[in-house]
Amino acid sequence: MGAAVGVEDVGAVRVVTLDRPAVRNALDLPTATALAEALDGLDDDPGLAVGVLTGAGGHFCAGMDLKAFLATGQRPEVPGRGLGFTRRPPVKPLVAAVEGTALAGGFEIVLACDLVVAALDARLGLPEARLGLVAGAGGLLRLSARVPRAVAMRCALTGEPFSAQEAERWGLVNEVTPPGEALDRALALARQVAASAPGSLRASKELLDRRLAPSADDVARQDELLEALAASDDAREGARAFAEKRPPVWGRTP
């Protein structure tokens, strides 16, 4: 893997670490690509049963690297995979260990995991509307299928994050731990998962995921809206305002 993604196999558990702490593990295209490769390796290795995804430096992932987006025009999307794996998650179970921030694409990644352990002071949310974008890596589709409409709307329209306790209340987090202990608990949970039969794990995950899978029409409309927004002046302004640490000035249509 590249330096931005660490991989360590501990028995039947693959631990994948987003390792860009200077930018709160925000994703650029090389990082998203390395993440996809790490999880492909999880599926391809018969000795591995489950993955744990975490972030270095006290944060999970702050989403898309907006400075890299401004510099290159590239979104951190792997063809056919989304943000590393959000469009096509691994076949094997994946546990998120969340410390600090899991925002925007970082929260979309959490929503694409199967089990989530979060530290008490973690913050999770979709602030894309404040940046002139939309959570188009599956986050809005997954969120709307799992929480009441009013909760999803508040998250999407205000950009305000959830606390870990709120996320647990809505069923988005399995366990809340003291700060600094999310990874240890996620590893313990992953070892519990790894004790089950591999075929049973795959079949169970597939059947449960079928209940939440968005329709082809939903995905097509999501992609259409995302492409239009990503190419908009508001998206550029949102990224510039973030980089310059100032409030954005949006273009207003009649």
Active site residues: 108, 128
Q: How far apart are CA 92 and CA 164, in angstroms?
A: 25
Q: How far apart are CA 153 and CA 227, in angstroms?
A: 21
Q: Which helix (H) or strand (E) holds 198?
A: helix 198-212
Q: How many CA atoms lie within 13 A of 225 on its CB side?
A: 17
**Pure H helices in 45-181:** 66-72, 105-111, 139-146, 149-158, 164-169
Query: Nearest Cα to 125, choosing from 105, 99, 141, 150?
Result: 105
Q: How far apart are CA 13 and CA 111, in angstroms?
A: 20
Q: How far apart are CA 52 and CA 95, in angstroms?
A: 5
Query: Nearest Cα to 122, choosing from 110, 135, 136, 140?
Result: 110
Q: How far apart are CA 185 and CA 191, in angstroms?
A: 10
**CB contact set of 231 (below 8 Å; sequence gap of 6+):** none
234: three-class secondary structure by DSSP: helix
Backbone angles phi, psi at 62, to 5 degrees: -90, 10
